[in-house]
Amino acid sequence: MAINLGLLMIKTKWKQACNYLAAPFDHYFLNLLPKKAIKPAFQISILAAMLFFMGCSQKGEENATPNILIILTDQQTNDAISYLGNPNLHTPAMDQLAAEGTYFTASYCTSPVCGPARSSLITGRMPHKTGVVWNSTNIDPSVPTIGHLFQDAGYQTAWVGKWHLPQSYPAKDKMDSVSGFKVIPFQSLDEAWDLGEDTDGPIADAAVNYIQEYNSENPFLLAVSLHNPHDICHVPRRPGEYAGPDELDTLPPLPPNFEIAEDEPEFLDEKRLMDHYGDELLLTKDYTPEDWRAYLYHYYLFTEMVDKEIGKIMDALKSAGLDENTIVVLTSEHGDGAAAHRWAAKLSLYEEATTVPFIIRWKGHIPSGNINREQLVSGVDLAPTLLDYANVGDNVQFTGKSLKPVLEDPRKNLRDYLVVQLADDKLDSSRHARMIRNRRFKYNLYNQGERNEQLFDLWKDPGETTNLAYEENYLSVKNTMKAALSAWIRESGDPFLEWHPLPERSSLTQ
């Protein structure tokens, strides 16, 4: 009995030291063997052999508990990366990460607004579930973040950079101001924090220092939240600080979907004239095509700037010998209009504002060099995916879904439909819109204004230049999409029905 108790204590201490790396292995063998039939000395021999094999697994093989590195950019549309063939910028760090992992191209934010999108990334829930529908809002304290969940599993959790829930950056003098994470300071209190060109270098340096100084038996979850290419917001606001088209030698071309459609929803017409949140639209109203090309020049430049900082972080991870057993995810909170439809901000349901890069890499575990164009991926999928790979948080209920099954078998289907929410003006809380898409079609519904529906065939019209919502030939498609949206809203408890009625799904599909 004393020997059995001693064995249990040794086993418990070993599991703590190994961070539960081999729990399934040792549970299997200790419970498989009939203890009464085995002499104590043989039990010790079995345990010694078991500890040897567990020790081997600790050194980086299949059963090792992964570290996790989340890299967030801000306002990066899915096309703003050279890996996918955009010749107007060069992003070697992101390209390498994509080449070593899987890139999901049909990847969407949950809302093209900073705070709501971020709240979804770190909770796995849609904005109406996190309580963050507009910016400058705290996450509902009853909703756990991935910081809390990974802390409970024994991880060190750290956050460096932008926060936006509610303040843009974590409180400079409070190490616990990010829910579930220890804040890593990166600037002195008297420095400016509003431009990525000022903050991204120090943010990356702080992340590098964390990685270099990491020396713990506990795995880490490190979130590095960078600022750029968000500086594009200031190009229309501070025109004297950025080169105009006549000062630049080369300019990128305009996108094929540059012009505004004549039948654009009135909801978007009104947004273009607002003088507060999203004022970039008003400030670019009289832009010439050459001005827009200069806008794109700066947007790509800011993206290249943040790529350089990402490269520093990835180099540090490799130099520290942590590259092989660290899951790395690169994504962004939302996109940017990027001159498509003459749109200069987020705050719309157009593809450029709602799509974001989503790259995930874990060497030896996740397929490398894979561009997945089929699966519909959302920001709510980040949290359940990471928890699934780390084998923690089994009982947590998410809006999102783990990507692990489709990474292991791309023939599986993650979801049939994906939804994006939009509340574009905190000063007018009545303004709301919803987007739903399947693999081919995309349907947008705005809760006010004329021409409040859009339907696009993304296979034939990826630039969203032809609205099919009022075409007789596409009425059945629209009703199918609208029915799916209606069902999703009701099943998820989305309060959109408070602002805009929708018929029951059955009446739409009859």
Beta strand extents in 285-403 (DSSP E only): 326-332, 358-361, 370-372, 377-378
- On whether both 48 and 105 belong to a single domain, the answer is no
- On whether both 187 and 273 belong to a single domain, the answer is yes
Task: Find the farthest-apart pair of alpha carbons in the chain and give their distance in angstroms, rounded.
Answer: 88
Quickly tell me which residue has 């909801």 as its tokens.
Answer: 267
Q: Does residue 271 sit within a domain?
A: yes
- On whether both 170 and 285 belong to a single domain, the answer is yes
What is the spatial distance between Cα 185 and Cα 182, in angstroms, rounded to a whole number?
Answer: 10
What is the spatial distance between Cα 373 and Cα 102, in angstroms, rounded to a whole number?
Answer: 10
Residues with Cβ within 8 Å of 461's Cβ and at least 6 positions away in sequence, in order, are: none
The per-residue b/e assignment along 181-215, b for 16 or more CB within 10 angstroms, e otherwise, is: bebbebeeeeeeeebbeebbbbbbbbbbebbeebe
Q: At 160, which helix (H) or strand (E)?
A: strand 156-161
Which CA distances in Å does 358 have to 94, 101, 239, 280, 334? 11, 10, 32, 26, 11
Q: What is the DSSP letter of 355?
A: B
- On whether both 431 and 286 belong to a single domain, the answer is no
Q: Does residue 130 sit within a domain?
A: yes
- On whether both 368 and 410 belong to a single domain, the answer is yes
Q: Does residue 472 sit within a domain?
A: yes
Q: Does residue 105 sit within a domain?
A: yes
pLDDT at position 502 is 80
The first and second tokens of residue 165, run together, are 């829930």
Average model confidence (pLDDT) across the chain? 87
Domain end point (choices 344, 379, 414) = 414
Quote the domain boundaries for residue 230: 67-209+225-414
- On whether both 18 and 75 belong to a single domain, the answer is no
Q: At 69, which helix (H) or strand (E)?
A: strand 67-73
- On whether both 242 and 382 belong to a single domain, the answer is yes
CATH number assigned to the domain comprising residue 357 = 3.40.720.10
pLDDT at position 370 is 95
Cross-strand partners of 359: 103, 330
Domain end point (choices 359, 386, 414) = 414
- On whether both 338 and 484 belong to a single domain, the answer is no
Residues with Cβ within 8 Å of 6's Cβ and at least 6 positions away in sequence, in order, are: none
Quickly state the pLDDT bin for 395 (edges 50, 70, 90): confident
pLDDT at position 264 is 97
AA letter at 240: G
Domain end point (choices 348, 382, 414) = 414
What is the spatial distance between Cα 460 and Cα 355, in angstroms, rounded to a whole number?
Answer: 18
Instruction: Report pLDDT digits (tens) over 199-251.
Output: 999 999 999 999 999 998 899 999 999 999 999 999 999 999 999 999 999 99
Number of compact structural domains in the chain: 3
Is a pLDDT exceeding 60 seen at residue 56? no
pTM value is 0.86
- On whether both 348 and 236 belong to a single domain, the answer is yes
pLDDT at position 479 is 96
Q: Is 283 helix (H, G, I), strand (E, B) or coil?
A: helix
Q: Does residue 217 sit within a domain?
A: no
Q: What is the DSSP letter of 183?
A: E
- Identify which of 211, 270, 244, 259 has the alpha carbon closest to the alpha carbon of residue 430: 270
- On whether both 339 and 377 belong to a single domain, the answer is yes
Q: Does residue 214 sit within a domain?
A: no
CATH number assigned to the domain comprising residue 454 = 3.30.1120.10
How confident is the model over 125-138, as a mean pLDDT?
Answer: 92
pLDDT at position 4 is 35
What is the spatial distance between Cα 464 and Cα 196, in angstroms, rounded to a whole number?
Answer: 31
Q: Does residue 138 sit within a domain?
A: yes
Instruction: Report pLDDT digits (tens) over 22-49.
Output: 333 333 333 444 444 444 444 444 444 4
Is a pLDDT exceeding 90 seen at residue 68? yes
AA letter at 500: H
How confident is the model over 444-468, as a mean pLDDT?
Answer: 98
- On whether both 45 and 81 belong to a single domain, the answer is no
- On whether both 409 and 270 belong to a single domain, the answer is yes
Q: Does residue 216 sit within a domain?
A: no
Spell out the SS3 assignment of 412-466.
CCCCCCEEEEECCCCCCCCCCEEEEECCCEEEEEECCCCCCEEEEECCCCCCCCC
- The pLDDT > 70 percentage for the chain reads 84
